[in-house]
Structure 1
Amino acid sequence: MKINQFLDATYLKTASQANITEEENQQNVVDLINEAILYNYKLVMIRAKYIPLAKEMLLKANVDVLIGTVIDFPEGNSSKEIKLEEAQKAIALEADELDFVVNYTAFKEGKINLVKAEVFAATKLGLENNKVVKWIIEVAALTSEEIITITQLIKEVVLTNFDENAAKKVFVKSSTGFYKTENNLPNGATFETMKLIAENAKPLQIKAAGGVRDYGTALKMITLGVDRIGTSSAKEICTKQEGNNAGY
């Protein structure tokens, strides 16, 4: 199994979040892209402003690494119109994959029609432009019952409104990795939450993001049915394999 082809190597901090200069932050992105070229990851997940830089580097290296970016990140509570406007800009920059943060706050408040409307409109926009669409549900903000319900909601919207091939291009994704939890509880994917998503999302694809930092965890996620792993530890996953398993 080529585990590198499950990995979305991720760097999403702004310069202010990283407490560094913009030049230093861009260098972090450059380093990630060079690493992706070396290890042939599936995708680099970066902020939209860096997409032209990534495209130039990947084209020069003549590799098939994809480029993804995030939409309405990390809170997800903007209007449908703002989400679509941001997505249009990412499409114009030629991102391959769009990871939207679903309005999980509205969902928790019972505004189900609002959530359905944004999932439909943004998924439609992505699919019409031949993009992979991922919906980040922010599992750390949800109860187990809410994880099940919002996952089923996304699946229902996709399967009701688009053809069967669409399911192969739409993901339910666990986390932003930026959610602040109390008492140091996990803010990303856990085996329990990914099992719930896997049981309720299929035939949609699923992505584990947040907290997957080693080969053993990544491998177990894949055995649970995870199709993609978003991680800032892609190099560690590829190089620090357990036993005699070949990671890439």
Structure 2
Amino acid sequence: MSSSFIDSLTPEQVAGTIDHALLRPDMTTEQVVAGCRLCAEYQTASVCVRPCDVALAASVLAGTAVQVGTVIGFPHGTTSTQAKVAESIQALDDGATELDMVLNIGRLKSGDLAYVQKDIHDVVQAAKRKLPTCCVKVILECSLLTDDEKVAACKAAQDAGADYVKTSTGFSTGGATVADLKLMRGCTDPERVHVKASGGIRTLDDLLACLQASADRIGASATAAIVDEMRARKAPDAA
């Protein structure tokens, strides 16, 4: 990893790339509140909570710059398009400003790209009508796909108007890899679509490797440890 790349980043910039994930099914309300407060303290890009927690997160983070995100069709992507649209509208009504939707993996692997693209398109259109500034990210679940399928998924997401393509849910057989990030960046227009790395990013070095591979956002739950490590490396006596 390039030392000049690391030297060019500040702890604040690192925190500003993170979508802090609060998605475990066993999380208590108290843990969600604590996680949102951590986001406010560290000034992350966003918090990504379960759909049932959106209103709570929006309340806790009111008055901060932290965006409230949630997941749609999570974690398998197999709910109907109509259900994904309804879930998206409800999330926006509850205070979300970012949506991470799972594409229909089975339809993608069946070669039904028209279905996959329309599924994404309908969510994007509904979200943008409801909140024009809404950011829609499309989760591919790369560990279940061939490289050709990843490319097809990225192109479908781009053509459907998505803002991001994202590697993983963090709840399948694998997470973000540098190879996948480079592939996703290489087959999309950087002026139209951003790339989010998610899944298995637990250390600062993991995060930096993803950023160097052209990721724009990082999904992580080890936010405090990652940013604190960056602060330690940047400390005057670290050298």
Of residues 32, 35, 42 in structure 2, which corresponds to 1:39?
Answer: 42
* Structure 2 residue aligned with 1:172: 165
Distance 1:84 1:99 in 2: 12
For the 8 Å contact 2:124–2:160, the answer to whether it is kept is no
Structure 1 residue 118 corresponds to structure 2 residue 119: yes
Larger mean Cα displacement after TM superposition, 235-244 or 114-123:
235-244
* Structure 2 residue aligned with 1:81: 82
For the 8 Å contact 1:215–1:242, the answer to whether it is kept is no
Q: What letter is aligned with 2:44?
A: Y
* Structure 2 residue aligned with 1:154: 157
4+ aligned runs moved over 6 Å, structure 1: none
Matched residues, number: 220
Q: What letter is aligned with 1:13?
A: R
Q: What letter is aligned with 2:19?
A: D
Q: Give the alignment of 1:36-115 within 5 angstroms.
A: 36-59=39-62, 62-115=63-116
For the 8 Å contact 2:117–2:159, the answer to whether it is kept is no
* Structure 1 residue aligned with 2:145: 142
For the 8 Å contact 1:116–1:154, the answer to whether it is kept is yes
* Structure 1 residue aligned with 2:3: none
For the 8 Å contact 1:133–1:171, the answer to whether it is kept is yes
* Structure 2 residue aligned with 1:232: 221
**TM-score scaled by length of structure 2:** 0.87
For the 8 Å contact 1:9–1:231, the answer to whether it is kept is yes
Q: What letter is aligned with 2:87?
A: E
* Structure 2 residue aligned with 1:222: 211
Of residues 191, 194, 203 in structure 2, which corresponds to 1:205?
Answer: 194
Give the CA deviation at 1:242: 8.2
For the 8 Å contact 1:216–1:242, the answer to whether it is kept is no
Name the SS for the 1:213 alignment partner: coil
For the 8 Å contact 1:69–1:97, the answer to whether it is kept is yes
* Structure 2 residue aligned with 1:190: 177
Structure 2 portions without partners, runs of 5+: 1-8
For the 8 Å contact 1:48–1:70, the answer to whether it is kept is yes
Q: What letter is aligned with 1:148?
A: V
* Cα deviations by residue, 1:83-111 (Å, 9 ceiling, x for unpaired): 11111111111201011100011110111
Taking every aligned residue pair, what percent have the same amino acid on both sides? Answer: 30
* Structure 1 residue aligned with 2:6: none
For the 8 Å contact 1:73–1:100, the answer to whether it is kept is yes
Give the CA deviation at 1:241: 2.5
* Structure 2 residue aligned with 1:14: 25
Distance 1:224 1:28 in 2: 32
Distance 1:240 1:102 in 2: 34
For the 8 Å contact 1:139–1:193, the answer to whether it is kept is yes
* Cα deviations by residue, 1:153-193 (Å, 9 ceiling, x for unpaired): 222333xxxxxxxx7xx1001100111x3xxxxx1101111
Give the CA deviation at 1:65: 0.7
* Structure 2 residue aligned with 1:28: 31
**TM-score scaled by length of structure 1:** 0.84
Q: What letter is aligned with 1:86?
A: E
Name the SS for the 2:233 alignment partner: coil
* Structure 1 residue aligned with 2:4: none
